[in-house]
Amino acid sequence: MGGGIGGLQHFGHKVSVFEQSRELREIGAGVTITPNAMHALHFLGIGKRVANEAGPTEAYLIRHFQTGDVIKVRASGHDYVERFGADYHQVHRADLHTALADVVHRNDPDCVFLEHCFDSLSQSSEQVVATFTNGRTVESDVLIGCDGAASKVRASVFGDELVKYTGQVAFRALLLMANVPASIKERPFAMFVGINRVLLHYPLRHRTIMNVLGVGREPTWQEEGWRIPAEIEEFAGLYSDLYPPALQLIRGISPGSLFKWGLRDREPLEQYSKGRGTMLGDAAHPMTPFLGQGA
């Protein structure tokens, strides 16, 4: 259940993917693909395509939140190849999804079923039966839940467990490069580090758009979802003492294109499988969007 990357087709298994969305469409913003993930994408045969979609990656700057001074220069993509055997890239999430979906459909054009929201399951020693909110039931040998940190499959297999708010809220947006301040455009790969706040920006699609991500502290959070509309003044207000060109970057976000979500977490499972049900990705071991490992 869900769209996690499992690689089962690659090993010759017959797989059906049940996704609750109505369509596979362009959603999300930027995502960092670090060398460990690039190795996996190369293994699946789409690493080169994803790298070509992203464009070249330069050395990354760690900058002072208020002054903009460079604190540290991280290695470039070529250095990562020498050290880890693969490059790293920042790619539009939609480009990654499209590359994955294309290879899945090439293996089996009829394996993805949209508008299927998981409801419950039952299992025996011979099979597992999944029931969806649209009334459909599906029998299979195994069921893999890759439906995120708030996984309903995990709750059905292992029992429900509260997903905890971490006290952090994230904002994200995409800007056309024409709306990016010149000094930011000159150094497009950077992270501004401050007390209880960070701001990250990097270009996507061969520097035609800029991805912006800010993570700060908020004591309480009630809303669910990772695509909650946010006001630019709310974002700018939390970052009012940010390095002025970077604050100008925030203010250059087009109205209606800024979103926010509360970061939630839960303890990883000690074992991923129980009977014929197993967990994959955030359903098994949630990751917050830090150290480039959130995706």
What is the tens place of the pLDDT at every residue in 249-274?
Answer: 999 999 999 999 888 888 888 899 99
According to the model, what pLDDT value does residue 120 have? 95
What is the tens place of the pLDDT at every residue in 190-207?
Answer: 999 999 999 999 999 999
According to the model, what pLDDT value does residue 5 have? 73
Classified as helix, coil or strand, 63 is strand
According to the model, what pLDDT value does residue 27 have? 66
Decide if pLDDT at 64 tops 90: yes
Decide if pLDDT at 166 tops 60: yes
Highest mean pLDDT among 29-43, 126-140, 280-294: 126-140
According to the model, what pLDDT value does residue 1 have? 56
Task: Give the 3-state secondary structure percentages of the chain, helix then strand then coil, rounded to 5.
Answer: 25, 30, 45
pLDDT band of 245, cuts 50, 70, 90: very high
Angle between helices 93-107 and 47-54 (to 10 degrees): 150
Q: Phi/psi of residue 120, each to 5°?
A: -160, 170
Average pLDDT in the 85-112 region?
90
Whole-model pTM: value is 0.86
pLDDT band of 285, cuts 50, 70, 90: confident
Decide if pLDDT at 226 tops 70: no
C-alpha–C-alpha distance, residues 81 and 38, integer Å: 10
For the chain, report the end-to-end CA distance as a whole number of angstroms.
17
Decide if pLDDT at 101 tops 60: yes
Q: How many CB atoms lie within 10 A of CB 21?
A: 13
Q: Are the C-beta atoms of 15 and 8 separated by less than 8 Å? A: yes
According to the model, what pLDDT value does residue 12 have? 86
According to the model, what pLDDT value does residue 7 have? 80
Percent of the chain with pLDDT over 90: 60
56: left (phi over 0), alpha (psi -120 to 50) or beta: beta
Decide if pLDDT at 163 tops 90: no
164-265: which CATH topology?
D-Amino Acid Oxidase; Chain A, domain 2 (3.30.9)
According to the model, what pLDDT value does residue 209 have? 94
According to the model, what pLDDT value does residue 236 have? 95
According to the model, what pLDDT value does residue 25 have? 67
Mean pLDDT (the chain, rounded):
89
* Residue in 95, 6, 82 with CA at minimum distance from that of residue 44: 6
Give 224's DSSP letter.
Answer: -
C-alpha–C-alpha distance, residues 259 and 256, integer Å: 8
